[in-house]
Amino acid sequence: MGLTPPSLYAAFGNKQRLFEEASTLYFERTCEAVDSAAALPSTREAIARILDDTAHAHTNPETPAGCLMLTDPRLDAQREVLRQRLKDRLDQGVRDHDLAAEANTDHLASFLVAVLRGMSGCARDGGTREDLLAIAGTAMATLPAPTHDRGN
């Protein structure tokens, strides 16, 4: 692209500011994808979409493997926002009777973030899309089923 460090710093000020702007844009796109998935009718569909999207994004040959937001220590606050969005969708699932009433949505949300982080690490270590989809499938199996039908 012909860019040099001085031209980048002229545009952004310094490396830290460049990182902040890039990670903010990356985070906004991640939130858009999570929000789109969360809008699906059932909790299982929503979580499955998030996990599937993650597997595909982390193994896209056109981008670096893994996920900056899920692995960089400086982005802990963004991961907490992601965890809270997952928890909100899981809470909705309990209210909608998609998940067991006794489901601990706080723990489940933390578990799902850990799964997403693990999928990122697996991709960075050379894991294939099939490897990540297998992890996603195993994570889906941990979601507690509702204890009764909606009509009861």
Distance CA 143, CA 104 (A): 10
- Domain extent, residue 37, equals 14-141
The answer to whether position 5 is within a domain reads no
Evaluate whether residue 109 is within a structural domain: yes
135 belongs to a structural domain: yes
pLDDT per residue as tens digits for the range 52-107: 999 999 999 998 898 888 889 999 999 999 999 999 999 999 999 999 999 999 99
- Count of domains for the chain: 1
Residue type at 97 in one-letter notation: H
Residue 23 has pLDDT above 80, yes or no: yes
Q: What is the pTM of this model?
A: 0.87
Share of the chain above pLDDT 90, in %: 70
Kindly state whether residue 131 falls inside one of the protein's structural domains: yes
